[in-house]
Structure 1
Amino acid sequence: MSNRYAIILAAGQGTRMKSKLYKVLHPVCGKPMVQHVIDQVKSININEIVTIVGHGAEKVKAELGESSRYAIQAEQLGTAHAVLQSKEMLAEMSGTTIVVCGDTPLVKSETMEKLFRHHEDTGAKATILTARAEDPTGYGRIIRSEQGFVEKIVEHKDASEAELKINEINTGTYCFDNQALFAALDDVGNDNVQGEYYLPDVIEILKKQGEIVSAYVTEHFEETMGVNDRVALAEAERIMRKRLNEMHMRNGVTLIDPANTYIGADVEIGSDTVIYPGTVLSGGTVIGNDCAIGPNSEIHDCKIGDGTVIRQSAAFDSEIGSHVAIGPYAHIRPQSTIGDEVKIGNFVEIKKAVFGKGSKASHLSYIGDTEVGSNVNIGCGSITVNYDGKNKYLTKIEDDAFIGCNSNLVAPVTVGKGAYVAAGSTITEDVPGNGLAIARARQVNKENYTQKLNYKK
């Protein structure tokens, strides 16, 4: 097998998106379009990837990082001009180069691998990835010879009546003999209405040189879809979501209503986990086996152990152990660590807190900047007072402590192991282990007080 290279076209601004965000950075299932393309290309043994960047170059490079090298197309003068910007990096290399647009997030590595193999098996200098379109309007048509090789690509506006009936279309993805590609690029002109240099002209140049140009027909037209506006973006999202959901279901995950379940491209889910409708799983979330998530839950960048249940709740950038019960209507904010067998109940907010094994905050609490030991019970309405308007402070609640309902723990403060805090207390000093802290005014009863009130009325 010869050396393989990839050129990703990602220089366009995408004016039809009508967005401040550059087109190729618009996400599909939580990942930028161009990142989908890069990820698929990387999985087919490519020697080198070069991404052509222009508008938003620094942001595209920041997103893709070291997964690619970069060439700048400072002025957008067409697809052939874009490819030419990689000349210094690739022109002297021998092998095969695939050219893929960065706005085609649905193309699969399997399809690209088949395109490479077809190109190499036919001995072609160029191979076009084509597809059969039910409605080919607007696409360039593939005209084949009797031997099945490509004679030419005819644009829709230039096609004859007979050619318009052809439904095999050019998808805009190509394989080239690398050195033949760069030699032909020098001969591409811009004698057209737009004054741009178009990559399909390379096909015509190679044909005039007597070279073989072949075409590989993908079975899945939807893979070749380019995203140029928000309507196409939504369609790509729908197709990708369906693809991802089916993958998880085939891997042993139950989705009660796949059409209303939203799973990001990098999410991992263990077998026998059940995902209920309205749930959004995104980022690098990893969910264990035998969990139940949802309905209507949002989880981003979390690691969740086996057997955990999360109902109608949100969790972000946190670690959640096994056999944990969260919700309904709980909020796990970033940098929290929830140990095994913990219960975080309804209307409980956790922020940058650690919960030890078996601890509970069953309802109506805020626990922020806190270290909670094992087997701690935090009563209804209790909060850690972690912010003085300028700084955040730490609260420590040691193992086996019991925090009574409606208590305020004013940080920095420590409640010792096995200690009790009486309901309604505001704790401003450390509580010793096995001690009882009561910090509330003594009850005073005023007899016959309401009769005086009624008299005054």
Structure 2
Amino acid sequence: MESRAIVLAAGAGTRMKSEKPKVAHELLGKPLVNWVIDAARQAGIGEVVSVVGHLREQVIPLVEEDTRVVVQPERRGTADAVAVCREALAGFDGSLVVLSGDSPLITPDTIRALIEVRERSCAAVVVLTMELDDPTGYGRIVRGEDGGVERIVEQKDCSTEQAALTECNSGFYCFDAKALFSALEQVTSDNAQNEFYLTDVLEICRSDGRVVSALITEDPSECLGINSRIQLADATKQMQRRINEHHMAEGVTMTDPELVWIGPDAVLGRDVELLPMTFLYGRTIVANNTVIGPNSRLTDTVVGEGCSIDETVAIEARIDANVTCGPRAYLRPGAHMCEGSKAGTHVEIKKSTIGKGSKVPHLSYIGDTEMGEGVNIGAGSITCNYDGTNKFTTIIEDDVFVGSDTMLVAPVTVGAGAVIGAGSVITHDVSPDALALERSKQVEIADWKQRRHNASK
């Protein structure tokens, strides 16, 4: 049977004390709402509808590529948020999962289990519940004499007896779509918050003689909603542990897993070693037998086999096999380190190709450059690619030797096998196999110290 999902992402999240909507805050480099959408996709759900509202101009760009976006004009409660999806889901007859966009720890397995329980029992709704030692703040599950779910009572509406219940609502449901939209027409705002509660649907369906049941999660942390920075930090720590344990089980070594942070979309080969204070975010890929860290952060970067990436920041870079980076290297977008090349200490490379076996060992900036094979760049050298208005390209052909403290003022080409003398400012093309020097005449004034001393008297 086909299943679809609604992701509720319209809330403000006032306890976050932020100018960003709650669901746009990131966990391990990915916005909270995208964790939930990805879990739904991985569970096999076809169409996903995102409900946006508060600061939607920030949320829509996060979800519009992967989901159908529906706007909740006014925040009038969770039932209203689901009701605005009626047109988007018109004619759908199947399992409709409702997910909270601020609960990034939910797993595809749990979503699948919700769907399976509902379809097996032909229930109008199955709610995911959790047993908590401290249920404060959560809606309580009230069961009937038959053990079925009778209703859910929100914290502010609980009696003393209901407040003592420890089985709580997670905010995740699987509905029979037709039963859901029929029941929504009967939901009122007669409650402490004057809102339309989605939880009221359960009591309405039960009154109509439909099956209403619950699936108790074995891991309540999956249902953790992010309402504060403290809860965000707690969820990050739990996801960090979950991801790291997965990679270690697949052959990755971590000196201290507590000091390694890996995003959900990173792909790691076997015998990769991650040293403390390593961050791998976005679609970063690391091949076998590579060592990363300490103090390294890679985002959307591809790293080949057998590399050493030490104290390096790399963003949208490509690093081929057997490359050495760092310590304290910075690879900006468009940097391509070819096989066996090197970016050394305090080196910054931007939108440039460093050819096979070429070396930029220390204290250099290489920008908008096409560098061939076997090139050596002396310390303190710079490709001057920007004139304040436009960017220009430097071409350095194979086997060039560039002396220390050289400025290559683009646009300029240095021919294969050429040698650039230290301290030169190169403003014209250099022929292959030539020696290029550009230096002012050295002036020496004899006895300068004594003459200066006498003059001061």
TM-score by length of 1: 0.95
Partner of 2:413: 414
Query: Would the alpha carbon gap of residues 191 and 403 (structure 1) be closer, same or farther in structure 2, given more than 3 Å must change?
Result: same
CA distance in 2, matches of 1:53, 1:266: 24
- Match of 1:87, SS state, is coil
Partner of 2:201: 202
Runs of 4+ in 1 over 6 A off after TM superposition: none
Partner of 2:11: 12
User: Counterpart amino acid of 1:100?
Assistant: L
Partner of 1:340: 339
Q: Does 1:381 align with 2:380?
A: yes
Confirm or deny: 8 A CA contact 1:91 1:179 kept in the other structure.
Answer: no
User: Counterpart amino acid of 2:348?
Assistant: E
User: Deviation of residue 163 (structure 1)?
Assistant: 4.5
Confirm or deny: 8 A CA contact 2:286 2:302 kept in the other structure.
Answer: yes
Confirm or deny: 8 A CA contact 1:328 1:345 kept in the other structure.
Answer: yes
CA distance in 2, matches of 1:414, 1:157: 73
Give the total of aligned pairs. 456
Query: Would the alpha carbon gap of residues 323 and 247 (structure 1) be closer, same or farther in structure 2, given more than 3 Å must change?
Result: same
| Correspondence list, 1:323-402, <5 A | 323-402=322-401
CA distance in 2, matches of 1:220, 1:316: 35
User: Deviation of residue 267 (structure 1)?
Assistant: 1.6
Partner of 1:70: 69
CA distance in 1, matches of 2:329, 2:51: 45
User: Counterpart amino acid of 1:406?
Assistant: D
Q: Does 1:284 align with 2:267?
A: no
CA distance in 1, matches of 2:44, 2:282: 26
Confirm or deny: 8 A CA contact 2:416 2:433 kept in the other structure.
Answer: yes
- Match of 1:262, SS state, is strand
- Match of 1:328, SS state, is coil
Query: Would the alpha carbon gap of residues 79 and 440 (structure 1) be closer, same or farther in structure 2, given more than 3 Å must change?
Result: same
- Match of 1:131, SS state, is strand
CA distance in 2, matches of 1:167, 1:223: 17
More moved, 444-453 vs 10-19: 444-453
Deviations 1:267-294 (A, max 9, x none): 2222111111112221221111111111
CA distance in 2, matches of 1:19, 1:143: 35
| Correspondence list, 1:122-137, <5 A | 122-137=121-136
Q: Does 1:230 align with 2:229?
A: yes
> Unpaired segments of 5 or more residues in structure 2?
none
CA distance in 2, matches of 1:158, 1:182: 24
- Match of 1:384, SS state, is strand
| Correspondence list, 1:145-184, <5 A | 145=144, 147-156=146-155, 159=158, 163-184=162-183
CA distance in 1, matches of 2:174, 2:20: 30
More moved, 112-121 vs 50-59: 50-59
User: Counterpart amino acid of 2:172?
Assistant: T
- Match of 2:178, SS state, is helix
Confirm or deny: 8 A CA contact 1:91 1:182 kept in the other structure.
Answer: no
- Percent same amino acid among aligned pairs? 47
User: Counterpart amino acid of 2:150?
Assistant: E
CA distance in 2, matches of 1:243, 1:80: 33
User: Deviation of residue 425 (structure 1)?
Assistant: 1.6
User: Deviation of residue 71 (structure 1)?
Assistant: 1.8
Confirm or deny: 8 A CA contact 2:157 2:192 kept in the other structure.
Answer: no
User: Deviation of residue 68 (structure 1)?
Assistant: 1.2
Confirm or deny: 8 A CA contact 2:396 2:414 kept in the other structure.
Answer: yes
TM-score by length of 2: 0.95
CA distance in 1, matches of 2:34, 2:17: 21
CA distance in 2, matches of 1:379, 1:86: 62
User: Deviation of residue 453 (structure 1)?
Assistant: 4.1
> Unpaired segments of 5 or more residues in structure 1?
none
Deviations 1:177-216 (A, max 9, x none): 1111111110111112322111111111111112211100
CA distance in 2, matches of 1:48, 1:344: 45
Confirm or deny: 8 A CA contact 2:151 2:199 kept in the other structure.
Answer: no
Query: Would the alpha carbon gap of residues 422 and 243 (structure 1) be closer, same or farther in structure 2, given more than 3 Å must change?
Result: same
User: Counterpart amino acid of 1:292?
Assistant: V
More moved, 289-298 vs 439-448: 439-448
More moved, 155-164 vs 248-257: 155-164
User: Deviation of residue 218 (structure 1)?
Assistant: 0.8
Computed over aligned residues only, the root mean square deviation of the Cα atoms, in angstroms, reads 1.8
Partner of 2:28: 29
Confirm or deny: 8 A CA contact 1:378 1:403 kept in the other structure.
Answer: yes
Partner of 2:184: 185
User: Counterpart amino acid of 2:17?
Assistant: K
- Match of 1:51, SS state, is strand
User: Deviation of residue 159 (structure 1)?
Assistant: 4.9
User: Deviation of residue 167 (structure 1)?
Assistant: 2.1
CA distance in 1, matches of 2:221, 2:185: 33
CA distance in 2, matches of 1:213, 1:138: 23
User: Counterpart amino acid of 1:260?
Assistant: L
User: Counterpart amino acid of 1:99?
Assistant: V
User: Counterpart amino acid of 1:47?
Assistant: G
- Match of 1:110, SS state, is helix
| Correspondence list, 1:289-300, <5 A | 289-300=288-299
CA distance in 2, matches of 1:157, 1:446: 88
- Match of 1:242, SS state, is helix
